Structure 1
Amino acid sequence: MKAAALHILVKTRAEADALKQKLAKGASFAELARRHSLCPSGKRGGDLGEFKRGQMVPPFDKAVFHGELLAVLGPIKTQFGYHLIKVLYRG
């Protein structure tokens, strides 16, 4: 199974919660990713492209393959920090 997702990676839960509130009020996911994400994918608006189940760390993988499509998932804690994830498709 494959999926494609966008994500924003930040250091603290407080940062992730604040960004999630902005997204809930209509802020652009891609714009917030460009401005705040610690991941190199931030330069592409948080776009991770397509990946297979098992390629990402377990908590991230679980969220992507079990969470609601097109919803903002998270904050999801991994060893890298806190992620907000938007799953574009699975199949």
Structure 2
Amino acid sequence: MNDALRRVEQELLLADGIPARPWFKHALYAPKFTYAAMEFPGVREAVEQGNWTLAREQLGLLTERLRAVGDAIGRASDRLPAGSRP
């Protein structure tokens, strides 16, 4: 079960990272250029730059990762004993 739950979080990682800062791999959050947090960093930075093509691309990647998370949660749920499933 721990491995299944670990995979849920790993599904949020972007193989190539976010544009201009590929060392940040998480699709949901990354630090700004300060220490403050930024949600949906790939999408948000593209929108702030007015780069709508990149924003659409990043939104597609985010959507793909969220679908993968849903699938991983389903697989983790399938591993629960029958009486404890939600």
Q: Which has the higher strand share?
A: 1
TM-score normalised per structure 2:
0.30
Using CA pairs under 8 Å that are at least 6 residues apart, name the structure with larger relative contact order, 1 or 2.
1
Q: Identify the structure with the greater helix proportion.
A: 2
* Higher Rg of the two aligned structures: 2
